[in-house]
Amino acid sequence: MQEHQIHIRNVIMWVLGMVICPLGVTLSAKAGFGVSMIEAPVYVTYLRLSQSFPKITFGTMEYILQALVLILLCILVKKLKPRYLLSFGTAVLFGLILDGWRSVLGTGLYENTGMRIFACAAGIVTVAFAIACFFRTDLPQEVWELFVKEYSEIKGKKMTKVKWIYDITSLTVGIILMLTLLHKFEWTAIGIGTIVTTIVNAPLIGLFGKLIDRVWKDREGVKTPFTEQQERKALEEAAKASEDDEREI
């Protein structure tokens, strides 16, 4: 029974992430204050290539660049797991859902300033919650989240710290691409919203993660894949500390 509950929760977390995250990206793009640092390289590349190839969509560029990041992950961890390839399939589905949300909500910027501010804030919060959901499922997820999760686990690094570094690196790459491809500062791609997201994204993900875990434990009485991983790491660190103490004695 418990395994069934965990499986159902995995599915729920995955579905929420897949539906909500592209919605947040769409809202951020329509706000016009800059998309998230993770999406910045994708959006900048999309803006440039769509000028020459109108049929290229934001969603298409999404999974093309995720494929490149997946290759980078394999090089860094020196592994190629079957679920990595499944994550690319998830990236393609994510791109299709992103294009779907843009078809429903439109691709233009909101004209009302208040609506733009609301869309920016809603996009930041929505994406952070979605990523927290992705971190709590064993099902194939986007390459963005897979990179942080796998690198943290394999290298034994703290996930929040890896996420910070990953976000800042993505922002830097986005700025370089913007200046190289667009030859100007495009504030609708990288702006104040991008900077705010870079600052608050990791803390928000941690906050939403704690809330999700609390609700999970209280209502289900089971553990998430993420909390199980954290407990294993805590036990390993405790065992290592004990060994160090014995050596000192």
Q: What is the pLDDT of residue 227?
A: 55
Angle CA(64)–CA(68)–CA(73) in degrees, nearest 5?
A: 140
Specify the residue for token string 């004695």.
249
Task: Compute the distance between CA of residue 55 and CA of residue 61 in angstroms, rounded to an integer.
Answer: 11
Range of the domain at 160: 2-248
Residues near 14 by beta carbon (within 8 Å), at least 6 away in sequence: 133, 134, 137, 139, 140, 141
**φ/ψ bin of 184: left (φ > 0), alpha (ψ from -120 to 50), beta (otherwise):** beta
Q: Residue 80 CA to chain centroid, in angstroms?
A: 20
Give the C-alpha distances (Å, rounded to integers) separating 167 from 37, 57, 173, 180. Answer: 6, 23, 10, 20
Give mean pLDDT, residues 136-161.
83
CB 63 within 8 A of CB 91: yes
Please give the share of the chain, as a percent, with pLDDT higher than 70: 84
The torsion of the CA quartet 68, 70, 72, 76, rounded to 10 degrees, works out to 180
**What is the mean pLDDT of the segment spanning 177-201?**
90
Say how many domains are in the chain.
1
End-to-end CA distance of the chain: 46
Tell me what pLDDT residue 245 has. 57
pTM higher than the cut 0.85:
no
